[in-house]
Amino acid sequence: MAKAASKNAKIKDTKAAADAKNWTKVIRTLRSPKTGAYTFKEQIVHKDKIKEFLAN
Looking at residue 19, its pLDDT comes to: 82
Phi/psi for 29 (5° steps) reads -90, 130
Query: Residue 45: which of 33, 30, 28, 29 has the closest Cα?
Result: 28
What is the average pLDDT across 1-13? 64
Say how many residues make up the chain: 56
Contact at 8 Å (CB) between 28 and 54? yes
Residue 9: pLDDT over 70: no
Query: Residue 26: which of 2, 3, 1, 48 has the closest Cα?
Result: 48
Read off the amino acid at residue 40: F
Looking at residue 6, its pLDDT comes to: 62
> Does the predicted TM-score (pTM) go above 0.85?
no
Looking at residue 25, its pLDDT comes to: 94
What is the average pLDDT across 43-50? 93
Domain regions of the chain by residue span: 21-55
Residue 8: pLDDT over 80: no
